[in-house]
Copies of this chain bind each other. A is one copy, B any other.
Amino acid sequence: MKSKIRKLRKQHRISQEELALSVGVTRQTITSLECEKYTASLVLAYKIANFFNLTIEEVFDFSEVEGDN
């Protein structure tokens, strides 16, 4: 799933490792999310959004999720 994680992280000038530590996961997990290897869990999505003082919807892109239309 697409997200603004990398963009936000660069704006804040922190490494994947720093973000990983801040939200309680491995650097590998951050890499995987940024490279769209898989989708974050709800709790991790919240922690990341919260770290950047944003909402989940502001960080993650749900435009390709069917549901509304």
List residues of A whose CB falls within 8 A of some B CB. Answer: 1, 23-24, 39-43, 45-47, 50-51, 55-57, 60, 62, 65-68
Q: A56 — which chain B residues lie within 8 A by C-beta?
A: 42, 55-57
User: Which B-chain residue is minimally distant from A68 (CB atoms)?
Assistant: B50
Q: A46-B67, A55-B57, A67-B47 are in contact. Are A39 and B41 (CB under 8 A)?
A: yes
Q: Is the CB of A23 within 8 A of B60?
A: no
Q: A47 — which chain B residues lie within 8 A by C-beta?
A: 65, 67
Q: A67 — which chain B residues lie within 8 A by C-beta?
A: 23, 46-47, 50-51
Shortest Cβ gap from A39 to chain B (Å): 6
User: Which B-chain residue is minimally distant from A57 (CB atoms)?
Assistant: B55
